[in-house]
Amino acid sequence: MARRKDNKDRMVLEGIVTPFEWQGEDHIQSFAVLGAGEEEVIVKNSGMGTRLAKALRKRVRIEGRTIGIHMGRPLVSLERVVQLKTNE
């Protein structure tokens, strides 16, 4: 499923959690979610970083608000993360 906007800045996206920015060689500073059609959104580094780290390279559904652009990609403030089964 691609991005779905419910209103002006709210979004839902299903995709794979990937590292986006690194701090040093072994610490992920920020995450991205890669959706269908190579669509990529950057996740604002907030209190959900641990949940995203546990879902690294797994399929998730994220819900949140678009709050800006970071390095040419939408920057999203997360409200919810759900790890999906591979057949969902």
Global pTM reads: 0.82
Instruction: Give the model's pLDDT for residue 25.
Output: 86
Q: What does the DSSP assignment read for 5-41? A: ESSSSEEEEEEEEEEEEEETTTEEEEEEEEEGGG-EE
**Looking up tokens 């970083």, which residue turns up?**
49
Return the CATH number of 4-83, one of 3.30.530.20, 2.40.50.140, 3.20.20.60, 1.20.1070.10: 2.40.50.140
37 sits in the region (left: phi over 0; alpha: psi -120 to 50; else beta) called left
Query: pLDDT digits over 33-67, tens only?
Result: 999 887 899 998 777 778 888 999 999 999 999 99
Average pLDDT, integer, range 18-30:
89
CA dist 74 and 9 (Å) reads 10
E strand or H helix that includes residue 74? strand 73-83
